[in-house]
Amino acid sequence: MIYRFTEVLNDLVNYFLLGDILLLEDWKQANHLSDDLAMEFTTNESGDRIFAEGIVIPMTGIENYPYTILFNLSGDRPELCKERNRLQLRKSGYSLKVDHNMLMLFTWPILEQFTPEKVKDLISYYRVHKKPMIELANGWYHIEILGGETLQDGDYEPTFEFVIQPATNEEATINADMNFSFEITSSAY
């Protein structure tokens, strides 16, 4: 199955974050961090730890474009690798843990006031407006991230595709670069 979301924006900050946002909330509470996770992640080691522990994958270099987001659970050839599309980057080696049956692509501004109420409101907003959030069984997943452009109604649109495969806990190792730039050069803009 492939889930497709269109017109996804970065909220004017060059970051996307991929993960189980409720697991991030649990992690914040367990580690006694402030509600300003943006400050926490930029002033101490907690940002490195969430990545190393498979809580969130930070994606930097996100230009201010409307993106198509694909969550690919099909096991088939990725959409961005198909002939009509333009693959620009492909990065594997990521692992994520899901504890609340959800995987979500969210933006940096939520981290600035990361309270249970704000997280709950964001999840509700995502459900109502069909934003990039899917239901997944709890467990560990290998994530491969592809970036480039997909043909949408005759035009090429910047696209990220997340190829998601279940992993056993023993396999859930993270050997990817946290500082990799996911910048896509768009011919449409």
**Domain ranges, ordered by start, for the chain:** 1-164
Instruction: Domain 1-164: state its class.
Output: mainly beta
Residue 181 has pLDDT above 90, yes or no: no
| Amino acid in position 22 | L
| 131, 21 Cβ separation under 8 angstroms | no
Higher pLDDT, 175 or 128: 128
| 149, 59 Cβ separation under 8 angstroms | no
Length of the chain counted residue by residue: 189
Give per-residue pLDDT as tens, 119-166.
Answer: 999 999 999 999 999 999 999 999 999 999 999 888 999 999 999 999
What phi and psi values does residue 102 have, to the nearest 5 degrees? -150, 150
Assign 12 a pLDDT band (cuts: 50, 70, 90).
Answer: confident
Q: State the Cα–Cα distance between residues 146 and 159, nearest whole angstrom.
A: 8
| 112, 119 Cβ separation under 8 angstroms | no
Nearest to 37 by CA among 27, 82, 134: 27
Cβ neighbours around 135 below 10 Å, total: 10
Q: State the Cα–Cα distance between residues 65 and 86, nearest whole angstrom.
A: 16
Q: Where would I find the H helices in 96-155?
A: 116-129
pLDDT of residue 177: 72
Task: Give the burial class of 96: count Cβ atoms within 10 A of its Cβ; 0-12 exposed, 13-18 middle, 19 or more buried.
Answer: buried
| 152, 6 Cβ separation under 8 angstroms | yes
| 57, 95 Cβ separation under 8 angstroms | no
